[in-house]
Amino acid sequence: MSSPRRAQPEPAAPAALPEVHLDWRGPQHWSDRARECRHCGVTTPLRDDEGKPAHKVCAERALAAQQADLADRYRGAAPAARAQR
């Protein structure tokens, strides 16, 4: 005879990422040479604040994920798995 099943708690929905908008209109964010984005690997002429190749949208997503993880840690929760791409 099987035991009655307990109701399993619903997994927490992934928290929405905060919106991050970078201003990369300056010439320091552009290069004549396309190189692989540090986040996704697709080539881009864009450079981040450290001069490393990165798409603006990839950098914005990475910063948003960092902010969300920090907020989770501040609240004492384990950082949620978030899509990076």
Q: How far is the CB of 81 from Zn ion (least distance, A)?
A: 20
**Residue ranges in 37-66 that form contacts with Zn ion under rule CB under 5 A:** 37, 39-40, 55, 58
Nearer Cβ to Zn ion (58/68):
58
State the Cα torsion 44-48-53-56 to the nearest 10°: -30
Q: How far is the CB of 27 from Zn ion (least distance, A)?
A: 20
Neighbours of 35 (CB within 10 A): 14
Q: How far is the CB of 46 from Zn ion (least distance, A)?
A: 9
Determine contact, residues 53/46, Cβ cutoff 8 Å. yes
61: helix, strand or coil: helix
Binding site for Zn ion (CB under 5 A): 37, 39-40, 55, 58
